[in-house]
């Protein structure tokens, strides 16, 4: 149904779809997406590659009444006419335009990736879209081994998925440890050891420089023989359209506290947007921005003040959660590392308050730690240490109602407890629909309620 303003969204990815969900029924919403598939949960692509999720299971629902157009690439914004132009030269008018164009993978400087005819070498794969995932999936049965270039969250997820599929997999990371944007060297080493235990070798401090018939050549002289090369070494906000339209663009499309670009009729949300110095690249902030923009478009006077960092690794047999920016936040560090068991837990505290945290290997305390982090609880002298000890971690945790359970959709334990079933929790709160890392916690909260 419509009646409100015509909202046209460029991109039909995770931020756009969530915005459409919020606005359906009050606004006339059109989603213009250049992919051929209906919207899907991008986080779960590695689960599809791994074989634990069917592509149909990662579809995101688009409400009735939303005009979803697929294979609709927007090539120009005509601001004066308030119209966007598609690749087929047709135009779509808008009252308000929302840019949700996501990010694009960067091609690392490796000679031989691109053939003389301008196409990627047949062994080389990107991993950003469902099409990329399907192409890689098709190549897996004929391959014995794979090298993943990039040891960030995405690289580790993909490497693990290929390992689960039975490929002899190696990861090459130019920095001195895995996940170097999120965790310290100690945590990175523990993760590398965990990956090794699961059968994946990790080369850190080494750069891939050339792809030859013999394999991928590293700058330390080694050549990794490989049938597949998967590029996961970073991405950047997709800003070309905004730049061409003359909007203010720095690293991302610059937005203010109203999520307005330099044109007040045009908004930007998700991976393509830059608020202050912050460009995000994760689902929780993308969904937070979508929710806030929907409220503004419905007339509420709410302001965006930036998102907190929450990163979670989704891979079978590997658990990592990061709150804030533990590597660049000053404070007192309380940590506990057990490389033998594959766990590392670190809290950064300022005046007794948790200002950042890293958990590798054991996330049983993540709910409680997140709650203290969000509330700014002042911890007693022994409390931080107690939060990290194995004995305490093994004990069952009763989460208070305001503890956040689902970081992707921002859902508290109390909201889950108020639901009668898992399906109701999913429908009314959208918990578990992002990375899915909270599924066990949600089921436990509902079980707890059933016992009362």
Ligand X SMILES: Cc1cc2nc3c(=O)[nH]c(=O)nc-3n(C[C@H](O)[C@H](O)[C@H](O)COP(=O)(O)OP(=O)(O)OC[C@H]3O[C@@H](n4cnc5c(N)ncnc54)[C@H](O)[C@@H]3O)c2cc1C
Direct distance between the N- and C-terminal alpha carbons of the chain, in angstroms, rounded to an integer: 41
Q: Would you count residue 438 as binding ligand X (CB under 6 A)?
A: no
Contacting residue, 73, 180, 186, 193, with ligand X by CB under 6 A: 73
Q: Rounded to the nearest whole angstrom, what is the least distance from the CB of residue 81 to ligand X in the complex?
A: 18
Contacting residue, 155, 270, 410, 436, with ligand X by CB under 6 A: 270
Q: Rounded to the nearest whole angstrom, what is the least distance from the CB of residue 406 to ligand X in the complex?
A: 12
What string of DSSP letters covers 292-350?
HHHHHHTT----------EEEEEETTEEEEEES-TTT--SEEEEEEETTTTEEEEEEEE
User: What mask of x and - would describe binding to ligand X in positions 149 to 188, judged by CB under 6 A?
Assistant: -----x--x-------------------------------
Q: Would you count residue 100 as binding ligand X (CB under 6 A)?
A: yes
Q: Would you count residue 33 as binding ligand X (CB under 6 A)?
A: yes
**Range 24-29 contact pairs with CB under 8 angstroms and sequence separation of 24 or more:** 24/63, 24/64, 24/65, 24/66, 25/1, 25/63, 25/65, 26/298, 27/2, 27/3, 27/297, 28/2, 28/3, 28/4, 28/67, 29/65, 29/66, 29/67
Q: Which stretch binds ligand X (CB under 6 A): 5-13, 88-96, 218-226, 251-259?
A: 5-13
Alpha carbons 324 and 371: distance in angstroms, whole number: 13
**Interface positions, 418-437, toward ligand X (CB under 6 A):** 435
Q: Rounded to the nearest whole angstrom, what is the least distance from the CB of residue 46 to ligand X in the complex?
A: 6
Contacting residue, 8, 13, 393, 431, with ligand X by CB under 6 A: 13
The residue among 317 and 400 lying less far from ligand X, judged by its C-beta, is 317
Check: CB of residue 323 under 8 Å from CB of residue 308.
Answer: yes
Q: Which stretch binds ligand X (CB under 6 A): 56-64, 98-106, 391-399, 416-424?
A: 98-106
Q: Which stretch binds ligand X (CB under 6 A): 95-103, 118-126, 297-305, 317-325?
A: 95-103
Alpha carbons 111 and 443: distance in angstroms, whole number: 49
User: What mask of x and - would describe binding to ligand X in positions 306 to 345, judged by CB under 6 A?
Assistant: ------x-x-------------------------------
Residue least distant from ligand X (Cβ): 13
Q: Would you count residue 24 as binding ligand X (CB under 6 A)?
A: no
**Interface positions, 274-293, toward ligand X (CB under 6 A):** 281-284, 286
Residue 69, beta-bridge partner list: 32
What string of DSSP letters covers 197-266?
HTT-EEEES--EEEEETTEEEETTS-EE--SEEEE-S-EEE--HHHHHTT--BSSSEEE-TTSB-SSTTE
The residue among 42 and 177 lying less far from ligand X, judged by its C-beta, is 42
The residue among 281 and 367 lying less far from ligand X, judged by its C-beta, is 281
The residue among 68 and 218 lying less far from ligand X, judged by its C-beta, is 68
Alpha carbons 27 and 11: distance in angstroms, whole number: 17
The residue among 105 and 361 lying less far from ligand X, judged by its C-beta, is 105
Q: Buried b vs exposed e over 220-232: b needs ≥16 C-beta within 10 Å?
A: eeeebebbbbbbb
3-state DSSP call for residue 291?
Answer: helix
Q: Would you count residue 130 as binding ligand X (CB under 6 A)?
A: no
HEC secondary structure over 37-77: CCCECHHHHHHHHHCCCCHHHHECCCCCCCEEECCCCEEEE
Contacting residue, 24, 32, 147, 164, with ligand X by CB under 6 A: 32
The residue among 20 and 192 lying less far from ligand X, judged by its C-beta, is 20
What is the chain's alpha carbon radius of gyration, rounded to the nearest angstrom? 22
Angle between helix 14-23 and 283-297 (nearest 10): 30
Contacting residue, 53, 79, 128, 308, with ligand X by CB under 6 A: 128
Q: Which stretch binds ligand X (CB under 6 A): 11-19, 20-28, 388-396, 443-451?
A: 11-19
Q: Rounded to the nearest whole angstrom, what is the least distance from the CB of residue 146 to ligand X in the complex?
A: 15
Alpha carbons 437 and 444: distance in angstroms, whole number: 13
Q: Which helix (H) or strand (E) holds 372?
A: helix 366-375
> Under rule CB under 6 A, how many of the chain's residues touch ligand X?
37
Alpha carbons 346 and 387: distance in angstroms, whole number: 10
The residue among 174 and 270 lying less far from ligand X, judged by its C-beta, is 270
Q: Would you count residue 101 as binding ligand X (CB under 6 A)?
A: yes
Check: CB of residue 97 under 8 Å from CB of residue 59.
Answer: no
Instruction: By CB under 6 A, name the binding residues for ligand X.
Output: 10-16, 32-35, 42-43, 45-46, 73-74, 100-102, 127-128, 154, 157, 238, 241, 270-272, 281-284, 286, 312, 314, 435
């Amino acid at each position: 149904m419509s009646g409100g303003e015509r909202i046209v969204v460029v991109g039909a990815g995770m931020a756009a779809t969530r915005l459409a969900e919020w606005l359906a029924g009050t606004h006339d919403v059109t989603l213009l997406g250049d992919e051929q598939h209906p919207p899907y949960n991008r986080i779960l692509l590695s689960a599809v590659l791994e074989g634990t999720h069917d592509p149909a299971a990662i579809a995101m629902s688009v409400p009735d009444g939303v005009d979803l157009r697929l294979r609709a690439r927007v090539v120009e914004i005509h601001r004066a006419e308030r119209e966007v132009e598609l690749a087929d030269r047709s135009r779509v008018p808008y009252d308000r335009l929302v840019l949700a164009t996501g990010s694009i993978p960067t091609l690392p400087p490796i000679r031989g990736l691109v053939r003389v005819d301008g196409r990627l070498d047949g062994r080389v794969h990107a991993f950003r879209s469902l099409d990329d995932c399907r192409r890689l999936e098709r190549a897996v049965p004929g391959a014995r081994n794979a090298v993943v270039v990039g040891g960030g969250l995405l690289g580790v997820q993909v490497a693990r998925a290929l390992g689960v599929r039975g490929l002899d997999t190696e990861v090459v990371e130019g920095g001195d440890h895995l996940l170097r944007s999120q965790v310290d060297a100690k945590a990175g080493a523990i993760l590398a050891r965990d990956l090794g235990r699961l059968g994946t070798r990790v080369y850190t401090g080494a750069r891939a420089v050339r792809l030859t018939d013999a394999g991928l050549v590293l700058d330390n002289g080694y050549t990794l023989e490989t049938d597949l090369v998967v590029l996961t070494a970073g991405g950047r906000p997709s800003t070309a359209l905004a730049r061409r339209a003359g909007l203010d663009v720095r690293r991302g499309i610059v937005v203010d506290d109203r999520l307005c670009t330099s044109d007040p009729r045009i908004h930007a949300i998700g991976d393509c947007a830059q608020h202050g110095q912050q460009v995000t690249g994760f689902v929780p902030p993308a969904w937070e921005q979508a929710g806030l923009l929907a409220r503004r478009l419905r007339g509420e006077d709410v302001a965006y003040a930036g998102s907190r960092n929450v990163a979670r690794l989704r891979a079978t047999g590997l658990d990592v959660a990061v709150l804030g920016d533990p590597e660049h936040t000053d404070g007192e560090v309380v940590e506990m590392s057990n490389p033998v068991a594959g766990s590392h837990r670190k809290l950064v505290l300022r005046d007794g308050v948790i200002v950042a945290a890293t958990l590798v290997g054991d996330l049983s305390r993540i709910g409680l730690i997140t709650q203290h982090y969000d509330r700014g609880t002042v911890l007693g002298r022994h409390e931080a240490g107690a939060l990290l000890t194995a004995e305490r971690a093994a004990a069952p945790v009763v989460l208070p109602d305001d503890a956040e359970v689902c970081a992707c959709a921002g859902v508290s334990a109390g909201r889950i407890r108020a639901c009668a079933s898992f399906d109701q929790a999913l429908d009314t709160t959208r918990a578990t629909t992002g990375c899915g890392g909270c599924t066990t916690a949600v089921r436990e909260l509902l079980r707890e309620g059933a016992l009362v």
